[in-house]
Amino acid sequence: MGVFSKTCEYAIRSVFFIAHRTTSGSRVGIKEIANGIDSPEHFLAKILQDLSRRGIVQSVKGPNGGFYIDEIGLKRPLSDVVEAVDGKSIFTGCGLGLAYCSETNPCPLHHEFKAIRNQLKNLLEQTTIADFSESLNLGITKLRK
C-alpha cells in the first residue's frame, strides 16, 4: 500500500501526461494516455470521467477529441487532484487511525507525524500541475516503469 491509492496514482500520472502532451487546442485520447502511463485503459477512463466532472480535466468527444487541461487547470495545485480522488484525510488524518487527530488528545506519533504530513501537504499545495509537467518536458522525469 502506498501513500496514495492506486486510483489516485493513475489520476496524478494521467494529469501530468495530459498536461505534457497537449498544447493549446490539442487533445489526447484515452488509449494514448493509458499506454503512456502504463495503466488499465477502462479503469483510467472511469477516473478521467470523474476528474472531468469535477473540472480538473476537460474533454471533447468525437474525432480529434480527447482530454486536455485548460489554462486554469494547469495552474491548479496537485493537491486538488489528490483531494478529488482520495479526499483530504491524507492531509488531516491521524497516522494511527484515531477518529480525530488533535492536539488535546494526541496519539504517540502525533507531533512527528504531523510534521511529515504537513510537508506532504505543502509539496502538493505549492506545486502546480504545470510545474510538474516542466520536468517531463525536459525529459528528466518519467511516468512509466
Least Cβ distance, residue 118 to DNA (angstroms):
23
Q: Which of 108, 84, 83 is nearest to 94 (CA)?
A: 108
Partner from a second copy, DNA, ligand FES, none contacting 74, C-beta within 5 to 8 A by type: none
Q: Kindly state whether residue 125 participates in binding a second copy, applying the rule CB under 8 A.
A: no
- Hey, what's the torsion of the CAs at 12, 144, 130, 43, to 10 degrees? -30
Q: Which residue has the cell 484525510?
A: 89
Q: Does 98 bind ligand FES (CB under 6 A)?
A: yes
Q: Is the dihedral of CA 46, 143, 38, 32 positive or negative?
A: positive
Q: Which of 26, 52, 92, 105 binds DNA (CB under 7 A)?
A: 52
Member of 98, 125, 128, 130 binding a second copy (CB under 8 A): 98
Residue whose cell numbers read 486510483: 7
| Size of the chain in residues | 145
Contact footprint for a second copy (CB under 8 A): 1-6, 9-10, 12-13, 16, 86, 89-90, 93-100, 105-110, 112-113, 115-116, 119-120, 123, 127, 132-133, 135-136, 140-145
